[in-house]
Amino acid sequence: MDDWTDWEKSEALTAFALRQEAFGPLLEKKTWIAICGAEKMSTLNIEPIHPEFGAKITGVDFSQMPPSQIVNEIKLAIDEYSFLCFPNQPLDDDRHIAFTRLFGPPEASHVKLGQKGIIDYLGTIGNVQDDGSVLGNDHQKTRFQTGNNMWHSDSSFREVPTYISIMCVYEVPDEGGQTEFISQRAAYARLPEEKQKTIDPLITIHDYVFSRSKVGPDAVTPSHARSLPPVQQKLVRRNPRTDAPNFFIGSHAREVVGWDYEESRQLLDGLLADASKPDHVYSHDWKPEDLIIWDNRCLLHRGTGYDADKYRRRMRQSRVQGSGSTLLE
C-alpha cells in the first residue's frame, strides 16, 4: 500500500471493515489488502452484485483468448467473489473449450462417460438438443435434469471435485429457469465458534446415486452408478490462496463418516437450511451471451425449473478439474 494515496488506503480499509462486519473474520487484513492491491492494478471493471459474493465484470472481450495477465486477474476474482458474470460474451463450443483450458484441465462429463464411455467436455443444460429438437416436460432427459434443482456443488461426488464451472448461454425461457447460488464460505463464518470447531475435522461421504435416487428409481443407469462409487470429502475446505474456510455439503453429501445416519442428516440439513435462508441467496436471471464462472469449492447452486413444454432453453457448460482430493488439502 506504500504507493497508494490516503484516499485509496481509506477506501480499502473501509471496505475491509464492512466485509468483516457482514461475514465475520473471513479474511485476514493482510490478505484483503493484497486483494485490494490486485484490484487496484486490474484492468477488469468489477461490480459486486450481492453483499456476500458475486460480481459482474466488464472491460474484457473474449472473442480473442485473453492474455495471461487477464486470466490471472480472473483467478483472483474467483477467489474473492466466487461467482463472476461476464455479459455479452458469445462463444461457440470450440472457443468455450479453449477458454476453459486457460484455467486448468477440463473435466469430462460424468454422464456421457458413465453411460456410454464417451469423453466430452461440454454438456447441454436445457431442453434444446444439438440437432435442434426440443424435449418436453415428460422426456426422460428433462426429468433427469430436475435433479439439478437440489442444492449441489458440481462433481462433489467425484474423488477430485470440480474447481469451477463455466456456462455459456444461448437461449433462455421467458419465465422461470433462474439459477440460485449461496455461499458456504459466508455461511461458515456465521456459525458459532464451537460449531466451527465441531465440524472442522469431519469427513463426509458424497454419493451421486444417493442424490439422484430422489429424482426417480431409474434416474441412474447401472453402468453410470458403477462409474461413480461414493467418495469421501472434507466437510470444511479452505481456499488455497486466501485460507478462507467454508463447509462443503449439498445434495450429494450423504452422511458424516463415523456418525449415526440420523445425526449426520441433522447436521448436514441444518447447515444447508442456514446457508440457504432467503437473505443469503442470489438468483441469477440468465441472458443470452452471458458467460458465467462459479467456484464449486465454496458455492452451492440449484435450478428453479421452467416449463419445457412452452419454452426453449439452451446453455452449454464446461468444468475445470480440481487440483486433487479434498482429503489432501
DSSP states of 28-49? -HHHHHHHHHHHHH--SEEEE-
- What order do you get walking across the sheet with 253-256 strand by strand? 231-234, 203-206, 253-256
At residue 53, the pLDDT reads 98
Q: Are 237 and 245 in contact (CB under 8 A)?
A: yes
Radius of gyration of the chain (CA): 20
What is the mean pLDDT for each group of 10 consecutive residues in the chain (329 residues)?
A: 49 49 46 45 86 97 94 97 98 96 91 60 92 92 86 96 98 97 98 98 96 80 85 98 97 98 98 98 98 98 96 97 96
At residue 154, the pLDDT reads 96
At residue 147, the pLDDT reads 82
Task: List the domain boundaries for the chain.
Answer: 42-328
Q: Are 220 and 212 in contact (CB under 8 A)?
A: yes
Q: Which three cell numbers stand for residue 300?
A: 452451492
Which phi and psi angles does 140 have, rounded to 5°? -60, -40
Q: Are 141 and 314 in contact (CB under 8 A)?
A: no
Give the C-alpha distances (Å, rounded to integers) separating 34 from 13, 74, 155.
Answer: 12, 15, 31
CA–CA dist 40, 8 (Å, integer)? 9
Q: Are 316 and 123 in contact (CB under 8 A)?
A: yes
At residue 32, the pLDDT reads 43
Which phi and psi angles does 141 have, rounded to 5°? -65, -40
Q: CATH number for 42-328: choose from 3.30.70.1020, 3.90.1720.10, 3.60.130.10, 3.30.390.30.
A: 3.60.130.10
* Side chain identity, residue 45: N
Residues 6+ apart with CB under 8 A from 266: none
CA–CA dist 127, 311 (Å, integer)? 9
Quickly list H helices, the chain.
6-23, 29-41, 68-81, 93-101, 110-116, 140-145, 184-190, 193-199, 208-212, 222-227, 261-275
At residue 43, the pLDDT reads 80
At residue 35, the pLDDT reads 45
Q: Which three cell numbers stand for residue 158?
A: 467425484
Helices (H) and strands (E) in the chain, counts: 11, 15
At residue 216, the pLDDT reads 76
* Side chain identity, residue 2: D
Q: How far is CA 172 from the centre of its chain?
A: 20
At residue 40, the pLDDT reads 46
